[in-house]
Copies of this chain bind each other. A is one copy, B any other.
Amino acid sequence: MNLTPDQQDEINVLRAQSAPTRRAVSPGLEAILYQAIPILDHGFIRVVDYMGDDAAIVQAARVSYGRGTRKVSDDRVLIRYLMRHFHSTPFEMCEIKYHVKLPIFVARQWIRHRTANVNEYSARYSVLDNEFYIPAPDQLAAQSSDNRQGRGAILTGDEAAQVLDLLKHDAEKSYRDYAWMLNEGEEGLAVDPDRAGLARELARINLTLNTYTQWYWKTDLHNLMNFLRLRADPHAQYEIRVYADAMIESLDAWVPLAAEAFREYRLGSAQLSATALKIVKRMLAGETVEAAQSGLGKREWTELMALIGRT
């Protein structure tokens, strides 16, 4: 379960309200505002606030008094130009705030993006819920044999069953002992009047890294796209990639022109090294280039051939 009925009620109350504003409004984001999109087994992501829209990017690039251009087509051309030339400051003029529920090991990767504002639920102050991430069977992967930080084939049979069993058992046992040490009546345990109960800031250290936490996370559009480019990448760990994928949908809803340019010039783009560029030019000039004489190492050669459709 990703939300309790009470939490869903609170969200419904917010969604039912409406007030007039003179600010720029993004109809796409208004439609999904506050809604929790389920991620993984207990997580979610939801947009809780935003500032600006496509026109705000144009307005800032022009330092204009009004709303920028009149025509959407002009806005589109300018936004693509800015994205293509890495003129990032106009994109920084839009801001978005998410409420995210995510496993702690995902939070540890996420927080490495420093240009953002974060408020995390405090386990020094409050008691964490008994919720932890257990991979779905089709995500229970072996270590990759050719990538030291990736996944290989999916585990099957007994091994898969045993792994799932251990993950569940250890997380449950750690949480139960956390609750016992707190002695606050969590998990249906009776409060023992003869025990003082361990401080929350200490008891939490017994929890496993797949325990869910949550935070408010706010960033500007430029840094959001940096985050998405890295975390929606196939090399990113699956458990953070699913959050990034959902956030790309909110990007589409929020700033459709910027999102389109992002796909063209970032997500779907390719970087050619100086040597790779020379090889492509020689090939286009009709020359046959062999790996051995290319000047590229084996892995870079293979990657380049895959990129340009020569596998």
- A binding-site residues for B, Cβ under 8 Å: 3, 6-7, 10-11, 13-15, 17-25, 30, 33-34, 48-52, 56, 59-61, 63-67, 77, 84-86, 89-90, 92-93, 95, 97, 99, 103-105, 107-108, 111-112, 114-115, 117-122, 124-125, 133, 135, 139-144, 148-153, 155, 159, 163, 166-167, 170-171, 173-174, 177, 180-182, 194-202, 204-210, 214-216, 218, 220, 230, 235, 237, 263-265, 267-277, 280-281, 283-285, 297, 300, 307-310
CA distance A182 to B277 in the complex (A): 40
CB atoms of A23 and B50 under 8 A apart: yes
Tell me whether A199 and B151 are in contact in the complex, defined as CB-CB below 8 angstroms, given that A66-B11, A207-B209 are known contacts.
Answer: yes
Q: Out of B20, B64, B265, B272, name the residue touching A18 (CB < 8 Å).
A: B20
CB contact between A92 and one of B117, B269, B270 (< 8 Å): that residue: B117
Contact (Cβ within 8 A) A65 B22? no
A135/B218 contact (C-beta < 8 A), A11-B65, A93-B119 known:
no
Selected contact of A25 from candidates B19, B135, B263, CB within 8 Å: B19
Q: A18-B20, A207-B208, A214-B63 are in contact. Are A264 and B269 (CB under 8 A)?
A: no
Q: A14 to chain B: which residues have CB within 8 Å?
A: 22, 66-67
Per the bound structure, the CA–CA distance linking A89 and B111 in Å amounts to 14
Give the residues in chain B near A140, CB-CB below 8 Å: 198, 202
Contact of A308 among B21, B265, B281 (CB under 8 A): B281
Smallest Cβ distance from A48 to chain B, in angstroms? 8
Task: Say which residue of B34, B143, B300 sits within 8 Å of A198 (CB atoms).
Answer: B143
CB of A290, distance to nearest CB on chain B (Å): 15
- Cα(A210)–Cα(B208), bound, Å: 9
Contact status of A166 and B206, CB under 8 A, knowing A20-B19, A50-B51: yes
- Report B-chain residues with C-beta under 8 Å of the C-beta of A202: 135, 139-141, 151
Residues of B close to A107: CB separation below 8 A: 108
Knowing A181-B163, A264-B275, A271-B269 are in contact, say whether A209-B206 is a contact too (CB < 8 A).
yes
Minimum CB–CB distance from A109 to chain B (whole Å) comes to 9
* A189 → B minimal CB distance (Å): 13
